[in-house]
Amino acid sequence: YFFFTMTFWIFDAMFSAVFAFPMERSIILKERASGSYHLSAYFLAKTTSEAPTLLSLPIIFVTISYWLANINSSFLLFLASTGITLLSVGAGE
């Protein structure tokens, strides 16, 4: 359960970030050349604005699938696996 769940959510976040950057590349280069903002400001703004969407789907998925799969009835283990999933999604982005 955990291997496939983590693999799916990491690749989902990674591919959405990889495919979004080439579309925004020309805009980023133009705005950086004009001195509008630094690349770190762009990255932080993009990461912060996409975080609710990026993290809500794994939370919903883990909440439903963890209890349906009947992995363990411990609520602390559920919270730990949800936290690890969210950390993995954040690292995958």
**Burial readout 19-33 (b: 16 or more C-beta within 10 A, e: otherwise):** eeeeeeeeebeeeee
Place of tokens 């591919």: 15
pLDDT in tens, the chain (93 residues): 888 888 988 888 888 878 887 888 888 888 888 888 888 888 888 888 988 988 999 999 999 999 999 888 899 999 999 999 999 888 887
pTM, rounded to two decimals: 0.75
